[in-house]
A = this chain, B = another copy of it.
């Protein structure tokens, strides 16, 4: 299993940032508010500003190379020179993949920043993901104005609509070319960003100067080199309600078991954060750590012992956990090509019931699957703020001519991260890391059910 920490070592080398358009900036800014020129000058970030990928001094010392050679990300922020002429600029925005809290915040803030800070007057929202570029679907682009987007951040979902799956890259570039789009903001996960790189390749082959800037989206918080993804805090915050309910059901019944399944196909990040945010779960099961049901060290025994000792148990399971235990069913793949998952929640509910019935223990197993409830909600205040700042950074980056990069946050600083880096793998919960150790301390569960 690829780990984030593994990626750090080979990444030791020169600055990761390499944007083909970034040296070409020429145009002067022409904002619509007279005082913005001064503000722009005042707030500009130096082009040499870099945030170290690694900030542990002992590891840097151990690596032994010159600090000048240590990998680092370019800091985000307004640049002295901008590449595009705002008065002639046509910006596009597209949202792809599953819903995530904050999508409308990002759209709103992109539009506000483009309009008020840079004076951009032509902004198109492409509908329903990459489908929106393909004429045969018949999805007309939406003209995005401050008036239209003003209230949208109070609402979940995306006003642009979204869809999964790829579309023909050539035809997407046809559309961008025909409409004269100069900047495309791509809000989506690693698959979407990978798609954006392909589209950028086609555009480059045709000699088009289009900037592709991503705002990485993943409700699972599993994108590399991003402290956290937007919407993630909202998701686990909402998930705490389900866990609290499961805990309540559990303690209100004789040998009550409250079981909650949470999103997380490959990463137990939501499961872990939700657990730590409530302190109620006694067992957490995540995709990164396989577990055994039967036997001495198995989950079923542990559950039984706990029920005998405390008469209730609260269990959180990530949807991707324990897939190996349900080998007998092949459910195919979904529109994005992801393998359909078997329902580990229903599976465990059945196994618990069978096991406890077999022991003759009076019991109740209540299973809660909040599913989309944690992702279709509006963003929490903290996530709204985060979306706003990501969008501001994305606009600054795009206006300066950067491309094939996403806006990210690394160790509390907003940075530019090349698309090729974030799509090089996935972020997982590290079984040897402090997040998982905190979970073990909080739940008291053993490191493994094996």
Residues of chain A at the chain B interface (Cβ within 8 Å): 33, 35, 38-39, 42-43, 45-46, 48-52, 55-58, 60-61, 67-68, 70, 72, 75, 77-78, 99, 108-109, 112-113, 116-117, 128, 131, 137, 139, 151, 153-158, 161-163, 227, 233, 236-237, 240-242, 244-246, 248-249, 251-254, 273-274, 276-279, 366-373, 375-377, 380-382, 384-385, 388-389, 392, 411-414, 432, 434, 437-438, 440-442, 444, 446-447
Contact = CB atoms under 8 A, between A and B. Distances in A.
B376 A249 contact: yes
A346 to B, nearest CB: 11
Nearest to A70: B57
Given A109-B279, A236-B381, A388-B442, A249 B372 contact: yes
A46 B351 CA distance: 41
Contact of A253 (B49, B161, B367, B442): B161
B411 A434 contact: no
Contact of A56 (B50, B68, B236, B438): B50
Nearest to A47: B58
Contacts of A253: 128, 161-163
Contact of A380 (B237, B249, B385, B388): B237
Contacts of A251: 157, 161
A425 B26 CA distance: 43
Contacts of A438: 388-389, 392
Give the 6 A-B CB pairs with smallest separation, nearest first: A277-B381, A245-B376, A157-B248, A411-B411, A157-B252, A248-B376
Contacts of A67: 57, 60-61, 67
Contact of A46 (B46, B58, B248): B58
A116 B444 CA distance: 8
Contact of A373 (B254, B368, B437): B368
Given A43-B440, A113-B441, A366-B372, A382 B277 contact: yes
